[in-house]
Amino acid sequence: MKKERVFIFDTTLRDGEQSPGASLNTKQKLEVAKQLQKLGVDVIEAGFPISSPGDFEAVKKIAETVKGPVIAGLTRVLKKDIDCCWQAVRPAKRPRIHTFVGTSPVHRDYILRKSEEEVLKMAVDAVKLAKSYTEDVEFSAMDATRTEFDFLCEILERTIEAGAATVNIPDTVGYAMPDEFGALIKNILEKVSNIKKVVVSVHCHDDLGLATANSISAVLNGARQVECTINGIGERAGNVSLEEIVMAIKARQDFFKYTTGIKAKNIYKTSRLVSHLTGIAVQPNKAIVGANAFAHSSGIHQDGILKKRSTFEIMSPASIGLKESKLILTSRSGRHALRHSLEELGYKLKAKELERVYQSFKKVADRKKEIFNGDLEAMVEDEISAIPETFRLEYIHTTSGSQTVPTATIRLKRGAKIIEDAACGDGPVDAAYRTIDRITGVKGKLLDYSLRAVTSGKDALGEVTVQIAGGKQTVIGRGTSTDIIEASAKAYLNAVNKLIYRRT
C-alpha cells in the first residue's frame, strides 16, 4: 500500500534564525539552504524579506540559486510586505508567499486592535494579492490554538476561497496539549467545507516541551505538512525539530502510514552545519543528533549493544549519517565493553590479563568521568607489559618569570649513572622537555598535553598526560605530583622511556 506523503517545511532560516544570537549573513544562509536541498526538504522558508535589506537579499539569493524545494518568504497581511516578498522569491522556480495574521482575542485586541471582521478582511485581501503573484500561497492563523474555534474555521474557509493552497494552524506559544491539538485538526477537517482543497500544515513551538508530540498528533489527525527547524531552534524554547519528526516516522513504519522525502543520512551533517554557523550548541542528550544519542555508558547497555544492537538502539547511527555508536567507558562499564575497546586498540588479552586490567580500570574509572584510549594503553602497559625505566627522574629545578629566561636543570639516573644537564625554553615545561631531550638523546614531538587535578584543595595532586611522536611511533606518558612542572617532566620522561623500549 502506498503511504501518504508528509511534507517537510523547514523554517530554520526564518523562525530558527530568530533564536537570540543566531543571526546569519547571506553567505551562511545560502550554505544552509544548499544543505537543506541535499537533505530533501519540500519547502525552505528562506526568510522575512520586508524585515531588513539583508534578509531580502538572502531570500532573493536563495531563490536564484537553490533548485528543487519550494522557496517561501514570510509576510504580514500588508500590501508592502507581500509586494516585497514577491520580489524576493520571484526568481525561484517554485516560489511561495506565506502570509499570516494573529487571530486569537489577545492578538486582535492588544496587537492589531482590530475586530474579527477587520482581521478577516485583512487576511482575505492579503491572500488575494499574493495569489495575483503566484499560485502557491500559504495562509497562517497565528496563535490558532487560542483562537475561538468558529472564527478560526471561518477565516480558514474564507482564505481558501481567496486562493490559499496551504493553510497553517500554528501553536504559536506552545500552549496546546497533544490530544487537544490533534482534536483541533480533526475538527477543522470536519467543519471547514473546502478544507480538502488544500494542504493542512502545523507549526508547533516547544514552550512546554510538546512540539514533537503535538505535531505527530496533528499528522495522525490529518495534517500533511509539518513546519520545523534543524535542531529545534527558534523563538523562545524553539520549534519542533525536523530530525525528531522525520526519524519518528522512519523508525516507526509499523505505526505510521506516512513517508517523507527526507534523505535521512544527511541529518547529522545538516545538524552540525546549523550548530556551527549559528553558534547554538546541540545539547548532549538531544534526541537523534545529540552527542549522547548513540552513546552507551551503562555496563548492561554496552553488553547488550555488543551482543545485539537492537537491544538498546531503535535506529542505527548510519541512518542519520553517523559512522557508529560510541561505547563510553566509565565506572559503570563491564568487562565485555572493556574487552571490546581493548580489541579495537589491537590488544587481545587472555582471561587473567583482562581481569588484571579490569581491576586497574575500575580504580581509575572511580577517579575519572570517562576513560579514553590513552588511559587503556597505559593500563595495559602497567599491568601486562610493564615498561622498564631506562631513565629515572632524580632532580628538577626550574627558573621562570616575566623578566627571566625560563631554564630547567634536570638530573636523570640511568642504571648507576647520574646525568645532569640544563636547557632554556619558551616556558618552564618547554625548558624541562628540551633538557630531557638533550640527556636521553630522544627528541619527541609533543602532540598533546593535558593537566588535571586528581584531588581537591590548594595542595591538589596534578596529573599530566602527554602524547608524543618519535618517528612513526606515538606513545602516551603520564606523571603525577603536587608540582605541575615536576608532573610534566615525569609524564614526558615516561613517554620517552616507552619510545626507547619499543625501539629495542
CATH 3.30.160.270 boundaries in the chain: 392-503
The DSSP secondary-structure symbol of 283 reads: P
Report CA-CA distances (Å) from 171 to 61, 200, 206, 238, 373.
30, 14, 9, 12, 47
Class of domain 4-278: alpha beta
Judging by beta carbons within 10 Å of its beta carbon (0-12, 13-18, 19+), is residue 191 exposed, middle or buried? middle
Q: What does the H/E/C string look like for 150-188? A: HHHHHHHHHHHHHCCCEEEEEECCCCCCHHHHHHHHHHH
Dihedral of CA 451/452/454/456: which sign?
positive
Q: Are 379 and 396 in contact (CB under 8 A)?
A: no
Where residue 321 falls (left for φ over 0; alpha for ψ -120 to 50; beta otherwise) is left
Q: According to the model, what pLDDT value does residue 381 have?
A: 64
Residues of the chain within CATH 3.20.20.70 domain(s) are 4-278
For CA atoms 438, 439, 444, 449, the dihedral sign is negative
Q: What's the pLDDT at 346? A: 66
Output DSSP code: residue 281: P
Superfamily name with CATH number, domain 392-503? Alpha-isopropylmalate synthase LeuA, regulatory domain (3.30.160.270)
**Pair 128, 163: CB distance under 8 Å:** yes
Number of neighbouring beta carbons within 10 Å of residue 12: 31
Distance CA 267, CA 265 (A): 6
Residue (of 241, 330, 356) closest to 288 by Cα position? 241
Q: By the 8 A CB rule, do 495 and 468 touch?
A: yes
CATH tag, 295-383? 1.10.238
Exposed e or buried b per residue across 33-64, where buried means at least 16 C-beta atoms within 10 angstroms of its C-beta: bebbbebbbbbbbbbbbbbeeebbbbbbbbbe
pLDDT truncated to tens, each residue of the chain (504 aa)? 678 999 999 999 999 998 887 889 999 999 999 999 999 999 999 999 999 999 999 999 999 999 999 999 999 999 999 999 999 999 999 999 999 999 999 999 999 999 999 999 999 999 999 999 999 999 999 999 999 999 999 999 999 999 999 999 999 999 999 999 999 999 999 999 999 999 999 999 999 999 999 999 999 999 999 999 999 999 999 999 999 999 999 999 999 999 999 999 999 999 999 999 999 999 989 999 988 888 777 778 877 877 887 888 788 888 999 877 777 777 888 888 888 888 876 677 888 888 888 888 888 778 777 777 767 776 776 666 567 789 999 999 999 988 899 999 999 999 999 999 999 999 999 999 999 999 999 988 999 999 987 655 665 668 898 999 988 788 888 888 888 999 999 999 999 998 888 777
pLDDT at 421: 97
3-class DSSP state of 384: coil
pLDDT at 456: 58
| Residue type at 277 in one-letter notation | L
- Cα dist from 124 to 99, 118, 149, whole Å: 10, 10, 18
- Cβ 473 vs Cβ 387: under 8 Å: no
Q: What is the pLDDT of residue 364?
A: 78
Query: Given this model, what pLDDT does residue 168 score?
Result: 98
